Amino acid sequence: MAKYRKLGRTSDQRKALLRSQVTALLYNGRIITTEARAKEVRKIAEHLIALATKEKDNFEVVKVTAKVPRKDKDGKRVKEVVDGRKVTVFDTVEKEIKKDLPSRLHARRQMLRVLYPVKEVPKTAAGRKKNTKQVDLVAKLFDEYGTKYANRHGGYTRIVKIGPRKGDAAMEVVLELV
């Protein structure tokens, strides 16, 4: 007896499907899919959220100095001429960053192994390509979901049946975070 559903696909297709659905679930909070897929996605998503709740406070705050380029009122880098060449002007800034302790770093890498990178695209057509930004889903897991589900022991997702799909009568469900 298998320990997982094969979903009628080869292993690489199945892994890609599950990774994309887990990523969509954690980014959007809910997805609509078939019942068999939802049960497999739930296993993976609950494991990731459990990791996040376990390691949410496992970091230290460190002060570092960083060189940041100086910018003008338009947001462009300020340049000055040195030895006949244009050179960007840098300011030294002191920042506080979160440094992961080893177990949190390991959990972060396990999450990154499953999740796909997500880009947030603005709704308006003007400057769509220019204004895209990378979403850090792992940080969202630690900061948002880790604190939200801190007092909960499992059961982070819910499956609600919608009914059979029109084309092939497969049972469709809504998989959502509680």
pLDDT for residue 124 is more than 90:
no
> What kind of fold does domain 17-57+102-177 have according to CATH?
50s Ribosomal Protein L17; Chain: A, (3.90.1030)
pLDDT for residue 128 is more than 80:
no
Q: For 132-149, what is each residue's pLDDT tens digit?
A: 889 999 999 999 999 999
* Domain ranges within the chain, ordered by starting residue: 17-57+102-177, 59-100
Residues 6+ apart with CB under 8 A from 160: 173, 174, 176
The dihedral region occupied by 7, where left means phi > 0, alpha psi between -120 and 50, and beta the remainder, is left
Q: For 5-22, what is each residue's pLDDT tens digit?
A: 999 999 999 999 999 999
Question: Cα(22)–Cα(48) distance, rounded to whole angstroms?
Answer: 9
Question: Cα(133)–Cα(136) distance, rounded to whole angstroms?
Answer: 10
Query: What's the residue count for the chain?
Result: 178
The dihedral region occupied by 75, where left means phi > 0, alpha psi between -120 and 50, and beta the remainder, is left
pTM for this model (two decimals)? 0.85
